[in-house]
Amino acid sequence: MTPENYLLKKLMLPDLKLLKVEKISNKNGLGFSPKRITVSTAGIAKMIYKLADDQVKFHLAIAKEQMEESIKHLEVVLAKIRAGKANPQMLGSVQVDYYGTSTPISQMANVNTPDAQTISIQPWDKSVLQDIEKAIMEANLGFTPMNNGEMIIINIPPLTEERRLELVKQAKTEAEHCKVSIRNARHKANDEMKKLGKEGLSEDMEKDAEAEVQKLTDSYINKTDDHFSSKEKEILTI
């Protein structure tokens, strides 16, 4: 439900009751005298409160969804930053055109790490070996796949200390971008709460809503830090 619908419902409730009174007192209706009709507004305040609460929950859900998308994007970009040690997740972003369908390698082949510097890919259907090889090359991951007719072998060159520090810096930059995106979602949510305040949301409910937005933000900022710390450890581990 949009804020506009929320406000419209608040404004229409009295009008609907007046419309019913008019029908009851109309000579083509029941013909009651308006003086004999009592209109009760019991329950309207409770209904408005519920509508306001629903709106708060609606915008909190939107903010959470946006923050979750930021985390998912961070996971994808961090997976592309190789840490020197072979890991099947390094190929997580590679999509292969498999009979017209974009398909992850893991869904069409066994991906293993025979040792710390090697990734082996053995497709269940050998006819797609060249398609997998092409997809890896086009993904620009910095790997040179070798197709021996049975499987694809990728050798992961060891990283220098200087290169490791560069990758940590790159990962930190991506984490900061994620935090900016999360804070933008917080800003949008708070703006919506302020709009609801102008439309009649109580001051206490507005403050509580903004506190929930901040709580949500803190949670996703912590998730971002956890992802970065994990990637940093992975990069620096020799």
**pLDDT of 30-71, one tens digit each?**
555 656 555 555 444 455 455 556 788 888 899 999 999 999
Residue 183 lies in a domain: yes
Q: Which of 30-34, 78-82, 90-94, 228-232 bottoms out in mean pLDDT, i.e. has the lowest?
A: 30-34
Dist. CA 87–CA 128, nearest whole Å = 22
Q: Are residues 121 and 52 in the same domain?
A: no
Residue 89 lies in a domain: no
- pLDDT one-digit tens code per residue, 189-204: 999 888 888 877 778 8
Q: Are residues 7 and 72 in the same domain?
A: no
Dist. CA 161–CA 163, nearest whole Å = 5
pLDDT at 52: 58
- Of 134, 52, 146, whose CA–CA distance to 94 is shortest? 134
- The token duo for 126 is 């050998």
Last residue in a domain, options 112, 130, 155 = 155
Q: Are residues 63 and 177 in the same domain?
A: yes
Partners of residue 110 on adjacent β-strands: 122
pLDDT at 98: 86
| Mean pLDDT estimate for the chain | 81
Q: Are residues 174 and 234 in the same domain?
A: yes
Residue 120 lies in a domain: yes
- Domain holding 8, by residue range, is 1-41
pLDDT at 191: 92
The answer to whether residues 231 and 78 touch, using CB atoms and an 8 Å cutoff, is yes
Residues 74-109 as b or e (16 or more Cβ within 10 Å = b): beebbebbbbbbbbeebbbebebebeeeebbbeebb
Pinpoint the alpha helices (H) of 81-149: 129-138
Q: Are residues 78 and 150 in the same domain?
A: no
Q: Are residues 165 and 238 in the same domain?
A: yes
pLDDT at 22: 59
Q: Are residues 207 and 166 in the same domain?
A: yes
Partners of residue 118 on adjacent β-strands: 115, 155
Q: Which residue has better confidence, 87 or 102?
A: 102
Q: Is the pLDDT of residue 14 over 60?
A: no
- The token duo for 16 is 């609907």
Helices and strands: H and E segment counts in the chain: 5, 6
- Of 101, 34, 62, whose CA–CA distance to 184 is shortest? 62
Q: Is the pLDDT of residue 85 over 60?
A: yes
C-alpha to C-alpha distances, 207 to 1, 184, 201, 210, nearest whole angstrom: 21, 19, 10, 5
Report the CATH number that the domain containing residue 71 is assigned in CATH.
1.10.132.20
Rg (CA), the chain: 29
- pLDDT one-digit tens code per residue, 123-174: 998 899 999 999 988 888 778 899 998 999 998 878 888 888 999 999 999 9
Q: Are residues 167 and 238 in the same domain?
A: yes
- Of 44, 39, 48, whose CA–CA distance to 17 is shortest? 39
The answer to whether residues 151 and 121 touch, using CB atoms and an 8 Å cutoff, is yes
Q: Are residues 32 and 122 in the same domain?
A: no
Report the CATH number that the domain containing residue 117 is assigned in CATH.
3.30.1360.40
Q: Is the pLDDT of residue 16 over 60?
A: no
The answer to whether residues 101 and 62 touch, using CB atoms and an 8 Å cutoff, is no
Number of domains in the chain: 3
Q: Are residues 21 and 65 in the same domain?
A: no
Q: Which of 47-51, 88-92, 155-159, 182-186 bottoms out in mean pLDDT, i.e. has the lowest?
A: 47-51
pLDDT at 15: 47
- Predicted TM-score of the model (pTM): 0.63
Q: Is the pLDDT of residue 232 over 90?
A: yes
Last residue in a domain, options 113, 134, 155 = 155
Q: Are residues 71 and 118 in the same domain?
A: no
Q: Are residues 164 and 238 in the same domain?
A: yes
